[in-house]
Amino acid sequence: MRAAVLLLFFADVSYPKACSYQDVLDSLNLTKGNELFKSTRPVLDHTHRTVLHLDVYLFAILAVNEKAQTFVSVIWIQMTWNDERISWDPSRFCGITRVSLPKELLWKPDLFIQEIDQALPNPYILVSSEGIVTLEDDLKLISTCRMDVHKFPFDTQSCNITFSSIMFTVDELQLLPFSNSSRATQFSRQVIQTQGEWEFLHLSVTNQNFSLEEGDWEQIVYTITMKRRPLLHVINFLLPVLFFLCLDLSSFLISDHRGEKLGFKVTVLLAISVLLLILNDILPSMSNRTPLIATYCIVIFALMLLSLLETVLLMHLMEKDTLPEESEGLSGGERVVVEGAECCGCRGNSFCPVDVQA
């Protein structure tokens, strides 16, 4: 009995409880000089597959540049995987179940976003006692996006954010979305802070594979669907173009004399040309289909051009019609002079007018 008590006493003296995070790191040999935990994939057997759970939520839609085909957004990313080399007993460390440490100390999946070339900037990751590693971050993305502006400004755009690995095939690293499309959409609507010109519709999540010569790779595609609010473009562009057309039609009530009508039509046509230059700065240079708003502007511009040509032709015909009348007036005057001259030569003739004979 006494021996058992002494054994328990020495056991408690030999293994005191550690209650600091540093004690947990020292027990795991997680130090900055140790390259073991960050150099290789965190498995005890290379045939084991690392399962990575990925979660992405949309925080804000900052800008959509149709000309440069770019999409600026703020997203929140969470990645979770299991490190088989890390585990500890929480009872030995005063119930510590999680500890945060610099991410440079552990292996991280080499994920990249295909639409951008930017690393995740968060310097810390979270490790649990079961070896579950969690990396969370929010970042501003400037990603490429193929846009269809055929229905501008009543268009709906879908931009992809694709996550995939560079080095590890599907046999070594498996990507699984933590949230489905409905949950990601619902949470994004709750946390979204600004949308600006665009209205967020939904966030869809798809998991797909792509094959190369070396093997198969897995990727997760997050598709952000958003709808443009067209009120600003309708007020600043569509309605002014229509108003200019109405002004051009009203010019038919102006008199054709002195060129006021022609000058008015040229001024309205120049105003339409300025609006077309503004539209050229908004829409991309290359598009699969001609935008409807461009067709709308071209048709109105063509109608106004035909109206201008009609005015020019009408003024030309009116000027041409007035020339014979002027020439006839000049010819009549000459005849009067000639007849007067002839009468002046017939002095003494009984048929000459009395004033001429005088």
Bond before 291 cis per omega within 30 degrees:
no
* Domain regions of the chain by residue span: 17-229, 232-340
Percentage of the residues of the chain whose pLDDT score is greater than 90: 6
Token pair recorded at residue 43? 């498995």
H-assigned helices in the chain: 2-14, 21-28, 36-39, 181-191, 231-233, 239-250, 260-282, 292-344, 354-357
Phi, psi of 97 (to 5 degrees): -110, -20
| Single-letter residue type at 215 | G
Residue 335 is predicted with a pLDDT of 46
Helix, strand or coil, per DSSP, at residue 134 = strand
Confirm if 75 and 116 have CB atoms less than 8 A apart: no
Most confident of 32-46, 213-227, 318-332: 213-227
Q: Residue 223: pLDDT above 90?
A: yes
Q: Residue 336: pLDDT above 80?
A: no
pLDDT grade, residue 339 (50/70/90)? very low
pLDDT grade, residue 77 (50/70/90)? confident
Strands annotated E in 103-155 = 111-113, 124-128, 132-144
Q: What is the residue whose two structure tokens read 């054709």?
A: 256
Residue 203 is predicted with a pLDDT of 92
- Higher confidence at residue 322 or residue 171? 171
Provide mean pLDDT across the span 72-87.
Answer: 85
Provide mean pLDDT across the span 271-283.
Answer: 82
Neighbours of 131 (CB within 10 A): 16
Q: Residue 341: pLDDT above 50?
A: no
Q: Rounded to two decimals, what is the model's pTM?
A: 0.61
d(CA 163, CA 125) in angstroms, rounded, equals 19
d(CA 10, CA 180) in angstroms, rounded, equals 54
Provide mean pLDDT across the span 45-52.
Answer: 87
Token pair recorded at residue 22? 């540093």
Confirm if 66 and 279 have CB atoms less than 8 A apart: no
Q: How many residues does the chain have?
A: 358
Residue 338 is predicted with a pLDDT of 43
Provide mean pLDDT across the span 55-62.
Answer: 81
pLDDT grade, residue 123 (50/70/90)? low
d(CA 280, CA 270) in angstroms, rounded, equals 15
d(CA 182, CA 205) in angstroms, rounded, equals 9
Confirm if 254 and 264 have CB atoms less than 8 A apart: yes
Residue 5 is predicted with a pLDDT of 40
Residue 328 is predicted with a pLDDT of 55
Which has the minimum average pLDDT: 6-15, 159-168, 243-252? 6-15
Residue 212 is predicted with a pLDDT of 75
Fold annotation for 17-229: Acetylcholine Binding Protein; Chain: A, (2.70.170)
Contacts of residue 207, defined as CB under 8 A and 6 or more positions apart, other chains included, come to 175, 176, 177, 218, 219, 220, 221
Q: Residue 46: pLDDT above 80?
A: yes
Q: Residue 2: pLDDT above 80?
A: no
Which has the minimum average pLDDT: 129-143, 237-251, 269-283, 342-356? 342-356
pLDDT, averaged across the chain: 77
Residue 249 is predicted with a pLDDT of 85
pLDDT grade, residue 197 (50/70/90)? confident
Relative to beta strand 173-177, strand 50-65 is: parallel
Percentage of the residues of the chain whose pLDDT score is greater than 70: 75
Residue-by-residue DSSP string for 310-322: HHHHHHHHHHHHH
Residue 201 is predicted with a pLDDT of 93
Q: Residue 71: pLDDT above 70?
A: yes
Confirm if 272 and 304 have CB atoms less than 8 A apart: yes
pLDDT grade, residue 344 (50/70/90)? very low
Say how many Å lie between the first and final Cα of the chain, rounded: 175
Same fold, 17-229 and 232-340: no
Residue 204 is predicted with a pLDDT of 93
- Cα 45 to Cα 120, 173, 268, 327: the distances in Å are 28, 13, 77, 110
Confirm if 54 and 173 have CB atoms less than 8 A apart: no
Which has the minimum average pLDDT: 105-114, 213-222, 307-316? 105-114
Domain 232-340 - what CATH class? mainly alpha
Q: Which of 162, 151, 139, 140 is nearest to 227 (CA)?
A: 151
